[in-house]
Amino acid sequence: MKYLLEKNDFLKPAKVGEIVEGIIIGKGRSAVFLDLGPMGTGIIYGKEFFDAKEKLKNLKIGEKIFAKIVELDNEEGYIEMSVSGASRELTFEMLRQKKEKGETIKIKILGANKGGLITKISGIPAFLPVSQLSAKNYPKVEGGEKTKILKALQKFIGADLEVKILDLSQREEKIILSEKAKDMDKKMEILKNYKIGDEVEGEITGVTNTGAFIKIDEDIEGLIHISELDWKIVENPAEIVKLGDRVKAKIIDISNDKIYLSLKALKKFTP
């Protein structure tokens, strides 16, 4: 009997913070009334009503919605409810499940700053750092100037990207996303085909003040540090390579999901 009582939601006492399903039984100019079954009657009004006004105006009598209990017994005997609070709870729960399963989600980029791209998921702000962009979309800005990086990132505003959830905190309302994580399994599998000492050929896809990026596979880019471009001291990588150049390089390190290469290792040393 105890097991059946615990399983029967109708017999459980209502709790503040709990999300429950109710049936709309009445609508006023600034309030919506819900049938909560044995719990009683719920009401969405005041700030909670205006926060969810756009969503509530399209609902009809008899429709079901999820709402969060914010007060058990107000002065008029109603259970005060919040739709926006429930939406946030349900959104974070959905995102938690997707993070645990490693599922991808599609987002639309709404803005950009020098650190990355800004979006929203069900009205909750989310951030995609520059470091978590895929190799294809990473801004390879010469000189690494922040204003140029921002300009490159602004091109993504309005674009749709597929990402995974990297970090999630409901208390801080923080959602950190990663585009490169969705390709990680595939990338790690491809990396098994390479080893330190291999000579590879690829196209220079970016030149910065710290070195150059070289595409050696459809999904793999490597980094040639400025110190590995030539035996002589190089102050500007563009002196050695330019965008679009095809070059041969030697793999000198493979660390996690990154390949580091050297051009000078294939050149004859001339003091």
Does residue 214 sit within a domain?
Answer: yes
Does residue 29 sit within a domain?
Answer: yes
Say if residue 108 is in the same domain as residue 180.
yes
Please give the pLDDT value at position 142.
64
Low-confidence ranges of the chain (pLDDT < 50): 1-11
CATH number at 133 reads 2.40.50.140
- Phi, psi angle pair for 161, to nearest 5°: -130, 150
Which one, of 91, 256, 98, lies nearest residue 165 by Cα?
A: 98
- Phi, psi angle pair for 246, to nearest 5°: -105, 125
Residue 261 parent element (H or E): strand 258-262
C-alpha dist (Å) from residue 16 to 19, 43, 64, 79, 80: 9, 14, 20, 9, 9
Please give the pLDDT value at position 144.
63
pTM listed for this prediction: 0.60
Split into its structural domains, the chain has a count of 3
d(CA 34, CA 43): 6
Backbone dihedral region for residue 144 (phi beyond 0: left; psi -120 to 50: alpha; all else: beta)? left
Q: What angle do CA 127, 130, 133 make, to 5 degrees?
A: 90
Does residue 271 sit within a domain?
Answer: no
Does residue 36 sit within a domain?
Answer: yes
State which residues form the domain around 30. 2-87
The residue whose two tokens read 């999630």 is: 168
Please give the pLDDT value at position 159.
95
Out of 156, 184, 212, a domain closes at: 184
Does residue 96 sit within a domain?
Answer: no
